[in-house]
Amino acid sequence: MLALTAAEMLHLKETLALRQPGHGLPRPMYHDDLVYRGEMDFIWRGGWLFAGHSCQIPKPGDYFLYDLDGDSVILVRDNEGQVQALYNVCRHRGSIICEAGEGSVKRFICPYHQWTYALDGHLLVWRGMQEGLDKSQLGLHHAHVRELEGMVFVSLSQDPPDFEPAYQAIAPMAHPQGLGRAKVAKIIDFDVHANWKLVWENNRECYHCNVNHPQYIKANFDHYNVDDRIERVATQLATVTARSEAKWAEEGLAVTRTETGLTEFPDPDHNIWYSANRTPLVDGFLSETLDGKLVAPLMGDYTEPADIGTLRMRMLPNFWNHSSCDHSVSTRLTPVGLTQTQIRMIWLVDEKAEEAKDYDLDKMLPFWLMTAEQDWQICVNQQRGVNSHAYTPGPLSTYKEYNLDRFLRWYLMQMSSAIG
């Protein structure tokens, strides 16, 4: 990694200082290559990244790749059943080892000179090399990896932040969803011409939901904020919340978000970059679908009638998930440039569910696919606008954009503390 020079660090520091409290980010944060390089180093290579679901690689030798910023990481299940994260780079001449984005292998054989590595990365065979070299030093480089209830996270950092608090906060909430006993129903990749922060900014407020997300707002309460919470909504929310408490408290499945508006996240003052909560759905909605009806068999530990709202999880800088009782949708962000983000959405169902028989993608996909595409268009519009020299960051709504402000403060804190 090419380190930033002292002059570049100073320039970056001055740029970060341009943000006015309570306002959006200034133009250079979306427009300066140096900012992007800093983000890659300090945030994306510094933290934990969602790579995919462990159910994508059920058997030893199954693997998929996660590519970021020139790097390619192999997520593979080894013979002991553990997920390993290995850099997809031969230790000999540097060829990639796995050409396909996913597959199943017994051992990793470099296509160039057939150096051969075990599933845990150690070097097994290197025909043609001279004596006197230390084979044990030439296994595949490892990245840090953690599995969390069927979700796989990697860190490209030598010294990643402690994953344990994230695990403790999320695992108990996630366990009943049974993501470890799931299967992929559908993966869709989007190429969105917007800076990754704009995608998060969009995700961190529902001020835009009323007009932009007609499907989403029918199912949820969280677009109502303190300034527009009317009596009817408050009453309905109270009813739903109370019923949930009465019915599900014992099993730990009662909703934990009992207010309108989005759960507060992240927490820049305590550097909390992960969270999970259970959020009520509108009466009549058992699942985040167009009509609120189930579209697949129940997942995990849920039992009929599973009016357990939605489980929501998120981890900065690249992951969020909305899980209904019958299906679960993960979103993974990957910057591929200053103004371009690759976004992968993964729909999961119970591992025993069979397509056509137990579920129908035409019924399952629209809710989140429509909501997502509405958001990507918004992000592209915003990128077009912040490109302008005439862009000046406006004031944020304290009622509706509190989480956006939290996100921006978290972002600035990460960057600033890395620069020192």
- Using CB under 8 A, list all residues that contact a second copy: 1-2, 24, 28, 32, 45, 69-72, 87-97, 99, 111-114, 128-130, 133, 138, 141, 143, 156, 201, 207-208, 211-212, 225, 227-228, 378, 381-382, 384-395, 397-400
Nearer to a second copy, 91 or 332 (CB): 91
Q: How far is the CB of 113 from a second copy (least distance, A)?
A: 5
Q: How far is the CB of 383 from a second copy (least distance, A)?
A: 9
Q: H helices then E strands: how many in the chain?
A: 10, 16
Cα separation, 78 vs 5, whole angstroms: 40
Question: Closer to a second copy at the Cβ: 138 or 169?
Answer: 138
Structure tokens at 76: 């593979």
CB of 229 or CB of 243, closer to a second copy: 229
Q: Which residues contact 279 (CB under 8 A, 6 or more apart)?
A: 220, 221, 222, 255, 256, 257, 263, 309, 310, 312
Q: Which whole-number Å values give the CA distances from 152 to 48, 62, 82, 157, 288, in the listed order?
A: 10, 14, 11, 16, 24
CB of 86 to a second copy, least distance (A): 9
Q: Which is nearer to a second copy, 133 or 171 (CB)?
A: 133
Residue 159 or 304: the one with the smaller Cβ distance to a second copy is 159
For 367-403, letters b (16+ CB in 10 Å) and e give: bbbebbebbbebbeebbeebeeeeeebeebeeebbbb
Question: What are the structure tokens assigned to 175, written together?
Answer: 């366990």
The residue (of 149 and 405) whose beta carbon lies closer to a second copy is: 405
Quote the least distance from Cβ 85 to a second copy, whole Å. 11
Least separation, in Å, of the C-beta of 273 and a second copy? Answer: 22
Q: Where are the beta strands (DSSP E) in 159-202?
A: 182-192
Task: Report, in Å, the least distance between residue 282 CB and a second copy.
Answer: 21
